[in-house]
């Protein structure tokens, strides 16, 4: 398998948006609106170099948005194309985020997810993320989680 995680470039914009839309569209009925990741400005995020993609032989199968904050790395979004789910790309991206955080000198990663995306909360909990808060933000009920990284 020739898989590469690389920074997204402007030419990746269409693929990035398509993956995000496909990965989140089924949540619209559950939460009653588009999930936050479907509303983000990926052109700006790519321009700011916050987006990385999983590239296998020139085809993009997943994305991760990592935003450096003052004392933690924000894992803003991770999404895998539905046709590629189950191939380990999500885990690969999450491991990449931890490595990136360590390389940037962070000791923790923070993320948030919609409280109705219960399978995400369960997944992140199983990977060592601990819930720190629940609150409404931008009209969405969010669960905030943090993972302390070990050196």
CATH number for 12: 3.40.630.30
Q: Is residue 31 classed exposed, middle or buried when 0-12, 13-18 and 19+ CB atoms within 10 A define those classes?
A: middle
Please give the pLDDT value at position 1.
53
Q: Decide: pTM greater than 0.75.
A: yes
Rounded Cα distance between 9 and 47, Å, is: 8
Q: Domain range spanning residue 108?
A: 3-148
| pLDDT at position 140 over 90 | no
Number of domains within the chain: 1
Length in residues, the chain = 151
| pLDDT at position 106 over 60 | yes
pLDDT bucket at 54, cuts 50 / 70 / 90: very high
pLDDT bucket at 26, cuts 50 / 70 / 90: very high
| pLDDT at position 151 over 80 | no
- Residue 148's nearest CA partner among 134, 130, 133 is 130
| Mean predicted confidence (pLDDT) in 2-10 | 94
| pLDDT at position 28 over 70 | yes
- Residue 122's nearest CA partner among 99, 138, 101, 145 is 145
Q: Phi and psi of 142, rounded to 5°?
A: -115, 145
Name the residue with higher pLDDT: 129 or 150. 129
């Amino acid at each position: 398998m020739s898989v590469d995680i690389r920074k997204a470039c402007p030419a990746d914009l269409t693929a990035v948006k398509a993956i995000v839309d496909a990965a989140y569209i089924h949540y619209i009925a559950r939460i009653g609106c588009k999930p936050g990741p479907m509303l983000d400005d990926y052109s700006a995020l790519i321009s700011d170099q916050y987006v990385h993609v999983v590239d296998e032989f020139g085809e993009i199968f997943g994305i991760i948005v990592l935003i450096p904050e003052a004392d933690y790395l924000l894992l803003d979004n991770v999404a895998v194309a539905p046709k590629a789910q189950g191939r380990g790309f999500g885990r690969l991206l999450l491991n990449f985020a931890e490595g990136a955080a360590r390389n940037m000198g962070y000791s923790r990663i923070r993320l948030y997810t919609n409280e109705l995306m219960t399978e995400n909360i369960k997944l992140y909990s199983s990977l060592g993320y601990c819930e720190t808060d629940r609150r409404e933000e931008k009209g969405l009920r969010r669960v905030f989680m943090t993972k302390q990284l070990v050196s």
